[in-house]
Amino acid sequence: MVEFSKAIQLEPRYAEAHFNLGRTYFGRGMINAALIQFEKTIDLDTSHAEAHYYLGLIYHGRGNLKEAVKAYRKTIQRDPLHIQAHYNLAVAYEASGDMERTVSQLKNCIEINPRFTMARNRLGLVLQKMGRLDDAVTQYQASIQVNPNNVETYNLLGGVYFQMGRFDEALSTWEKALKIEPSYPEVFFNMGLVHMKTESWDEAVAAFKKAIALKPDFALAHLNLGKAYYMKDMKEEANQEWNRARQIDPRLRLEKLPES
């Protein structure tokens, strides 16, 4: 920091020194000081893509989506292959509810780097929200081809199969996830939901118990384990699980629970 400050003292119009000082401030959490330096950088060199990008990060972090979008777009105008600016612009568009532009920016990321699985997975999630389930499956499958050991992608793919009512494919996909990461409570929970849909109560109980064993404070797993017990006419066990779920998360609404 001292080095960059000295450089600015010697040459106040040295844009790169202002940028490096701003980045140092940013890394230390001194956001207001960083903002001043990035703005000064742009005053001296409006073509400085990274200064615009860091301004986008600051505005984004403050929840100022309008200014974040402007900054990310200026970054991309100056550096069309700035993949993180494209990705963050997509995130900002998504937060503002502009799903079409979100999809467009995520596709730009994938065009720049087809192996950017985080962009593919986020695109899959956005497409799910838009009801474009087949397109979401395509993105998750492509992501798995790029990185066959990404357990989260299998979890997401299983989720869209579940949403489509393709329960056998959901289960087989989640089983693949467990081969990669056997201690994944959310996968066991999701498998339990499939068993609830197919009224396989014993299998549902077993799946929710495994989820809870891995994550004892998993409120929704306790809640659904209670429902599975209730369907097995095990009322005492059901009430115990519902009480435990409410202890963990008092926000759970009681009316959503079956009557015991």
Among candidate residues 185, 206, 238, the one where a domain is terminated: 185
What distance in Å separates the CA atoms of residue 159 and residue 164, rounded to the nearest whole number?
A: 9
Count of structural domains, the chain:
2
Among candidate residues 160, 185, 210, the one where a domain is terminated: 185
What distance in Å separates the CA atoms of residue 113 and residue 152, rounded to the nearest whole number?
A: 19
Q: Which domain holds residue 149?
A: 2-185
Q: How many residues does the chain have?
A: 260
**In this structure, how many other beta carbons lie within 10 angstroms of the beta carbon of residue 73?**
16
Please tell me which residue, 203 or 14, carries the higher pLDDT value: 203
260 has a pLDDT exceeding 50: no
Among candidate residues 168, 185, 202, the one where a domain is terminated: 185
pLDDT in tens, 13-34: 568 888 999 999 999 999 999 9
Residues 124 and 201 in one domain: no
Residues 137 and 161 in one domain: yes
Task: Supply the pLDDT for residue 15.
Answer: 85
Residues 109 and 171 in one domain: yes
Q: Which residues, including other chains, have CB under 8 Å from residue 101's CB and lie 6 or more apart? A: 90, 93
* Distances in whole angstroms, Cα of residue 26 to Cα of each of 15, 30, 54, 59, 221: 16, 6, 9, 12, 40
Residues 131 and 61 in one domain: yes
Q: At what angle do helices 99-112 and 83-95 cross, to 10 degrees?
A: 160
Residues 32 and 49 in one domain: yes
Q: Find the CATH number of the domain harbouring 229.
A: 1.25.40.10
User: What's the predicted TM-score (pTM) here?
Assistant: 0.84
CB contact at 8 A, 180 and 173: no
pLDDT in tens, 70-110: 999 999 999 999 999 999 999 999 999 999 999 999 999 99
Residues 99 and 208 in one domain: no
Q: Which residues, including other chains, have CB under 8 Å from residue 80's CB and lie 6 or more apart? A: none
194, amino acid identity: V
DSSP-H helix ranges across 79-150 = 83-95, 99-112, 117-129, 133-146
Residues 150 and 104 in one domain: yes
Quote the mean pLDDT of the chain.
92
Residues 87 and 158 in one domain: yes
Residues 115 and 210 in one domain: no
Region 53-82: what's the mean pLDDT?
97
Residues 57 and 181 in one domain: yes
**In this structure, how many other beta carbons lie within 10 angstroms of the beta carbon of residue 95?**
14
Task: Supply the pLDDT for residue 251.
Answer: 87
